[in-house]
């Protein structure tokens, strides 16, 4: 019986061509997906006869049924799962959103989807400091008991997944393609590690290539699975802000890491902060907003960084505010700070002693290394 119901779900998902919200609207008139496909037409409301006949014809097409059989065979493999909306293993938080996926394809540990999750998203081309901050916070949140959810994209997503895995935490990646067509291809090894330590999940069927329109749609799943969304770096117009807006619509918490006003990748975070997002400098800030879920968290490296900053002289704190994750030359720092060259040099030495900055051939930048 269960396989017959799943076959009905698959037929509707693969054959109807309807988005989740419309398909759920039709299903509301029937006790089950199987009933939608099999109930005698004479028993239907008159206004449903035409649309149901069209859906049934599409679902019975030979090509659709071939894909249904392919999916059922795929599910027989180890750690491969297809969760329908009425499955007891379907994640409860995601089921609550306005337009949950009717099916989820999962590789790895399906139970990982129901763990307390925090989504971390951001730029595909982050600054060095943004990368380190994402990795650091993901590790600290993992130690605090969260599964880290993100989208497997290059940049902040990748760093977040890796930060969780580095401390033996759990991480979930929501794809904008079928699970047999991992995108981006550069993250094939990371995808394998996530299958072992968490899960890959997609609402898109096997064989589906990544399409531009898939990603805004999958962002609602990232936020829907999570208790909150943390944006580390994001431009003013970016997919990360779409995820944050989805979170707000779903009643989730939104967090943002502030950055330098000189960094264009900070503008999206600053926009969120101006509109009420919770400012995050360490995992403690997230714990406070989420009602103490992280009360047993280890002291985070970000918190240690904040403690170091309190020991600085006032000139050093002022100069630190003139630095960001991008390289700044000596001339730039003199211009930004208004200090003479000699004082800038002395203050930079103080910042280096506390390992708050890095020196390189192009100048100086912030450092968020744990050491």
pLDDT string in tens for the chain (371-residue length): 478 899 999 999 999 888 888 899 999 999 999 999 999 999 988 999 999 999 999 998 889 999 999 999 999 999 999 999 998 889 989 999 999 999 999 999 888 898 889 999 999 999 888 999 999 999 999 988 889 999 999 999 999 999 999 999 999 999 999 999 999 999 999 999 999 999 999 999 999 999 988 999 999 999 999 999 999 999 888 889 999 999 999 999 999 999 888 788 889 999 999 999 999 988 888 887 875 444 443 334 434 444 555 577 778 877 876 776 568 899 999 888 888 999 999 989 888 887 778 888 889 887 644 34
Q: In sequence order, what are the residues at sequence separation of 6 or more whose Cβ sits closer than 8 angstroms to the Cβ of residue 22?
A: none
By the 8 A CB rule, do 344 and 301 touch?
no
Q: How far apart are CA 279 and CA 274, in angstroms?
A: 10
Q: How far apart are CA 254 and CA 243, in angstroms?
A: 10
Q: How far apart are CA 313 and CA 108, in angstroms?
A: 50
Residue 318 has a pLDDT of 72
Q: Which of 158, 116, 124, 110 is nearest to 141 (CA)?
A: 116
Q: What is the largest CA-CA distance in the chain?
A: 90
Residue 230 has a pLDDT of 97
Q: In the structure encoding, which two tokens stand for residue 261, read together?
A: 């006003």
Report pLDDT digits (tens) over 93-145: 999 999 999 999 999 988 889 888 999 999 999 988 899 999 999 999 998 88
Report pLDDT digits (tens) over 315-344: 887 787 677 656 889 999 988 888 899 999
Q: Which of 130, 133, 227, 120 is nearest to 174 (CA)?
A: 120
Name the 3-class secondary structure at 77.
coil
Q: How far apart are CA 272 and CA 254, in angstroms?
A: 8
Q: Set out the domains of the chain in order of their start, with CATH numbers.
A: 1-72 (no CATH), 110-298 (3.40.50.450), 311-366 (1.10.10.10)
Residue 325 has a pLDDT of 59
Q: Which of 188, 261, 250 is nearest to 220 (CA)?
A: 250
CA dihedral 269, 275, 278, 279 (to 10 degrees): 50
């Amino acid at each position: 019986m269960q396989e017959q119901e799943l076959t009905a779900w698959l037929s509707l998902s693969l054959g109807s061509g309807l988005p989740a919200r419309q398909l759920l609207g039709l299903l509301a008139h029937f006790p089950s997906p199987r009933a939608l496909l099999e109930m005698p037409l004479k028993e239907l409301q008159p206004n449903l006869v035409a649309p149901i006949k069209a859906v049934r014809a599409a679902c019975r097409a030979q090509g659709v049924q071939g894909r249904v059989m392919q999916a059922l065979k795929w599910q027989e493999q180890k750690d491969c799962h297809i969760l329908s909306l009425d499955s007891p293993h379907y994640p409860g938080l995601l089921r609550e959103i306005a337009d949950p996926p009717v099916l989820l394809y999962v590789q790895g540990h399906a139970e990982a989807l129901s763990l307390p999750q925090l989504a971390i998203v951001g730029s595909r081309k982050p600054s060095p400091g943004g990368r380190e901050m994402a990795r650091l916070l993901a590790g600290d949140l993992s130690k605090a008991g969260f599964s880290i959810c993100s989208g497997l994209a290059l940049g902040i997503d990748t760093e977040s997944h890796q930060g969780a895995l580095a401390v033996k935490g759990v991480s979930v990646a929501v794809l904008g393609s079928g699970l047999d067509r991992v995108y981006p291809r550069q993250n094939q090894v990371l995808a394998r590690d996530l299958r072992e330590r968490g899960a890959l999940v997609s609402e898109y069927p096997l064989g589906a290539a990544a399409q531009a329109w898939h990603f805004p749609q999958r962002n609602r799943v990232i936020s829907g699975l999570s208790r909150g969304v943390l944006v580390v770096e994001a431009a003013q117009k970016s997919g990360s802000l779409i995820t944050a807006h989805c979170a707000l619509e779903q009643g989730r918490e939104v967090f943002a890491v502030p950055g330098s006003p000189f960094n264009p990748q900070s503008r999206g975070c600053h926009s969120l902060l101006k509109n009420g997002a919770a400012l995050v400098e360490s995992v403690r800030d997230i714990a406070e907003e989420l009602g103490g879920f992280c009360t047993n968290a280890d002291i985070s490296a970000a918190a240690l960084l904040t403690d170091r900053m309190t020991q600085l002289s006032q000139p050093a704190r002022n100069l630190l505010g003139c630095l960001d994750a991008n390289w700044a030359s000596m001339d730039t720092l003199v211009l930004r700070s208004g200090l003479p060259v000699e004082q800038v040099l002395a203050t930079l030495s103080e910042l280096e002693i506390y390992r708050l900055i890095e020196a390189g051939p192009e100048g100086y930048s912030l450092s968020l290394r744990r050491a």
